[in-house]
Chain A
Amino acid sequence: MVTQAKEHLDFHSLGLTEDRRVIIPEGKSYLSGGGLWSWVFTLDHKRIGVMYLASILTFFLVGGIFALLVRAELYTPDIDLISKLFGLDAEKAKDKYNEFFTLHGAIMVFLFIIPSIPAALGNIILPMQLGAKDVAFPRMNLASYHLYVWGALFFIGALLMTGLDTGWTFYAPYSTTTVGPVAMATLGAFILGFSSIFTGLNFVVTVNTMRPKGMTWFRMPLFLWGVYATAIIQILATPVLAITLLLLTFERVFGLGIFDPKLGGDPVLYQHFFWFYSHPAVYIMILPGMAIISDVIPTFSRKPIFGYTFIAYSSIAIALLGFLVWGHHMFTSGQSPLASVVFSAITFSVSIPSAIKVFNWTATMYKGSIHLNTPMCYALSFIFLFTIGGLTGLFLGALNVDVHLHDTYFVVAHFHYVMMGGTLIAFLAGLHYWWPKIFGKMYNETWARVACVIIFIGFNWTFLPQFVLGTHGMPRRYATYEPQFQAGHRLSTQGAFFLGSGLFLAGGVLLHSLLKGKKAPPNPWGAATLEWKCCSPPTTQNFETTPWVGFPYDYSDFVYDPNEEGYVEVLPDLARSAKH
C-alpha cells in the first residue's frame, strides 16, 4: 500500500529536505462490484475494454487452432490428416482445408487483429492517457462492443454451418457462386465494420474535444497519436467495406450484377472496392502496434523518445498514404498497367514514415538505460520482426518482382511478419505493459520473458522457411504440394507448434498472475504518461485528482522505490508544491 510505504523511502538520499513524492491515493477498483449485468451494460470504458479483451483473446484461440490444423495438414505433401480426422475422401478433405484457412484468416483479421489494439487496449488506455474520465460517447462505445458480439455470432454461425471457403477476401465472382454461408459471413463482417467505425469515431472525438487543460496535441503520448491515426482510417475506409459487403450479399442473394461478369458485372471492381478498405485496414492493424512500441521503448530505456514530432506525424502520414496504395494487391488481377505502375510507386513512399519510426526507436535506445522487462523484450522482437516484414513488403510492392511472387508463400510469410510479428507482438508488449494497470496484478517476469523468447524463436522458425518456399514457387492456399517443398513445410509446422506453446505459456503466466500475482504498484515501470498516475487498477472515474500534464516522456522525476517495487514521482524542489 502506498500509504504504508511512505515512511520507508529515504528522500534525503535524493537531496531533498522534505518528502516531495506524489502520492496516488487508492480507490475502489473499477473491476469490483456488480453482477453480470453491470458488465454487459456498463458504460465504463475500462470494463468495455476488458470485455473486448476477453472476446478477442477467445477468438485468437479459435483462429490459432485453425492455423495449427492448417499447418499440421501441411506437414506432409498429401492430404491425409484432415481426411483421417474427419473421415473424408481426398476431394472433400481439400474443401475442408479451404474452409480452415478461410476461417483462420477471417477470424484473425476481423475478430482479432482489427479490434485487438484499438478496441481492447485502446478503450482501456486512451481516456486515461488523455486525462479524461471516459470516451466521448460511452453508449456508442457499448454499442460498438455489442455489435462486435453480434458480428462474431454471425461468424460463428457461418463456422457451424461449414463450407465458407472464399478466403477472408470474399473475392467475387467466386464468393457469389460458391456454396456455403458467404452471405452470413459477409453480414457478420458488415456488422463488425460498424463496430470498428463506432470505436474510431469515439476516439477521434475524445482526443479532439476532451483533452484537459495542459494536454496539448504535442504533449499527447505517441500511443494516442497512433490510435488517432488508426481512427481516421477506421472512419474513412470501413464504410467502403460495409457497402462492398452489402453489395456482395445482395449480389449473392438477389443477383444484382455489379461484380459477377455473367450478369454484366465487373469483378475487378470488387477488388478495387475490397482493397480500398482492406489495404488501409492493414494500417488499422499495424499503426496501433507501432504506437505501443513508441510508448514502451522510451519507458524501458529511461530516456525521452527520440524525434517525438516525427513519430507523431509519421503515424498520420502512414494513415493517409495507406489510402493511395490499395492497387498493389491487384497487380495480377487484370488491373491496367498504368494503375499498377502508379500504385507500385506510391507503395514505396509508405516505407518512408515506417522507417522514420524504426530509426527513432533505435535512436531512443541508443545510450539509454535499457531494462529488459517483458514488454521491452516484446518491443525488441517487434523491431526485428517488423523490419523483416517491412523490407519484404518492398519486394512485393515492386511491380515486376510481385508478378513472380504473387500468391506464393512469400506473401504469406510477409504478411505474417507484419501482422503477427508486428501487430500481435506489439499487442503482447502492450498487454504485458498495461497488465498491472488493467488488473492491478504483477505477473512472473521470468516466465513471461521465457514465453517471449519462445514466441520469438517459434515465430521465425515458422515463417522464415516460408519466404524460401515462396521464392521457390510454392503457391499459397493449396492443401497438397510437390515433395520438393516438404523440408520447408516441415520446419514451418514444427515452428508453428513451438510458437503455439510459447503463446500458451504467455497466456498461462498472465492468467496465473490474476490468481496468484502480487499487487501492482501504481507505476511499476516508471512511465510518465497519465495512465500511471491512476491507482492500479484504476477507479471508475480514473482520476481521483486531476493529474498534472507534462511531456509524456520526461523520466527525470521518477525514482524507483524498492519498498513499493515501483516508481514514484518526486517533484523537483521548485515553486510547484504538492498540496496533498
Chain B
Amino acid sequence: MSHADHKHHVASLPLLWATFFALVALTVLTVVMGTSDQIQLGWLDVWVVLFIATVKASLVALIFMHLAADKLFNGVVLVSALVFMGIFLGMCLMDSSNYLAEQQAYVEGQQALLGPTGS
C-alpha cells in the first residue's frame, strides 16, 4: 500500500494561496490595462492581455494542476494540444483576410439578385 503515496506530489498550502493571490493580482492588472484610459498600447494591447492570460494559465497548469511535479507525458499531452490549436488558428488566420474581397463580391451579388428588400 505504501508504494502509492510516496509517489504523489502534495502541494503546500502557502504555495496554493500564493498562486491564488498572484492570479487575482494578474486579473486586476489585466482589468486595469483593459479599461484604463491612461494606458493605451494600441495594437500591442491584445498581445499584452493575452500574455497576462497565458501567465495566469501557466500558473494554474503548473501549480494547481500539478504539472510542474507531474509526469512529463501529461504536460506533453497538454502542450501538443496547444500546438495543434496554434496550427489550426494560425493557418485559418493567415488565410481568412485574403478572401474577404471575394466574399464581399458574393454578398453584393446576392443582394443585387435579391433586390433591395432581400436580407
Contact = CB atoms under 8 A, between A and B. Distances in A.
User: Do A and B interact directly, with beta carbons closer than 8 Å?
Assistant: yes
A262 B103 contact: no
B51 interface: no
Interface in B84-100: 84, 87-88, 91-92, 94-96, 98-99
Contacts of B119: 262
Interface in A247-292: 261-262, 266-269, 272, 276
A272 B91 contact: yes
A217 B99 CA distance: 46
A33 interface: no
B107 interface: yes
A336 B110 contact: no
B81 A236 contact: yes
A323 interface: yes
A236 B88 CA distance: 11
Contacts of B84: 236, 323
Interface residues of B, number: 19
Contact of A268 (B81, B94, B99, B110): B99
A508 B42 CA distance: 71
Interface in A23-64: none
A261 B107 contact: yes
A21 B102 CA distance: 73
B80 interface: yes
B99 A335 contact: yes
B91 A327 contact: yes
A261 B88 contact: no
A266 B97 CA distance: 11
B98 A336 contact: yes
Contacts of A262: 107, 110, 119
B80 A268 contact: no
Contacts of A236: 80-81, 84
B73 interface: yes
A334 interface: yes
- For chain A, the bracket of interface size reads 20 to 34
A339 B96 CA distance: 10
B106 interface: yes
Contacts, number: 50
A391 interface: no
Interface in A295-352: 323-324, 326-327, 334-339, 342
Contacts of A210: none
| Chain A interface mostly | helix
A338 B99 contact: no
A334 B87 CA distance: 20
Interface in A87-107: none
A546 interface: no
A272 B81 contact: no
Nearest to B80: A236
B18 to A, nearest CB: 33
Contact of B91 (A266, A267, A339): A339
A336 B94 contact: yes
Contacts of B94: 336, 338-339
Contacts of B99: 268, 334-336
Nearest to A330: B95
A216 interface: no
Interface string A232-255: 000010001000000000000000
Given A236-B81, A262-B110, A334-B103, A208 B73 contact: yes
Nearest to B100: A266
Contacts of A324: 87
A221 to B, nearest CB: 22
B98 A266 contact: no
Given A268-B96, A269-B96, A334 B102 contact: yes
A339 B80 contact: no
Contacts of A336: 94-95, 98-99
A298 to B, nearest CB: 30
Contacts of A267: 103
A240 B102 CA distance: 26
B118 to A, nearest CB: 9
The 3 closest A-B pairs by CB, nearest first: A336-B98, A339-B95, A334-B99
Interface of B: 73, 80-81, 84, 87-88, 91-92, 94-96, 98-99, 102-103, 106-107, 110, 119
25 contacts: A236-B81, A240-B88, A261-B106, A261-B107, A261-B110, A262-B110, A262-B119, A266-B96, A266-B103, A267-B103, A268-B95, A272-B91, A276-B88, A323-B87, A327-B95, A334-B99, A334-B102, A334-B103, A335-B98, A336-B94, A337-B98, A338-B95, A339-B91, A339-B98, A342-B91
Given A268-B99, A335-B99, A336-B99, 8 more contacts: A261-B103, A261-B110, A262-B107, A326-B91, A327-B95, A334-B99, A334-B103, A342-B91
